[in-house]
Amino acid sequence: MNTRQVTMQGNPLNLTGNLISTGEKAPDFTVADNGLAPKTLNDFLGKKIVVSTVPSLDTPVCDMEVRKFNEMATDFGDDVVVLTVSMDLPFAQARWCGAADIKNVVTLSDYAGASFGEAY
């Protein structure tokens, strides 16, 4: 359990895992891509990585966030990859990306083991 105080609407929350500090090496994780293939941080070596996390793509705020990253990513260049990690099933992510015309963000699912959630 972390020792730093995290609150939601002023109420303390207990979190598992460890909070990351600025300058620390990003911890590895294993998530699933939209085809159920495992993906790790090492799969994106050589690129600058922007990571966004959302509970579910099928919520209004999360939908808006990923659409905005998709739009912004067109200006990032080929050396940058934008990853969005959610707990949605990979099939739901693929459906949502198709319906939202998301082409510049890689959606990854943490459904199988919460590896990303534990690491971050």
Nearest to 13 by CA among 22, 23, 1, 24: 1
Q: Quick check: is 97 catalytic?
A: no
The helix (H) or strand (E) run that includes residue 84 is strand 80-86
Cα gap 116→26, rounded to integer Å: 11
In this structure, which amino acid lies at residue 57? L
Cα gap 62→68, rounded to integer Å: 10
Query: Which residue out of 62, 66, 81, 108 is catalytically annotated?
Result: 62
Q: Which residues, 6+ apart, have CB-to-CB distance to 99 below 8 Å?
A: none
The helix (H) or strand (E) run that includes residue 93 is helix 90-100
Catalytic residues: 62
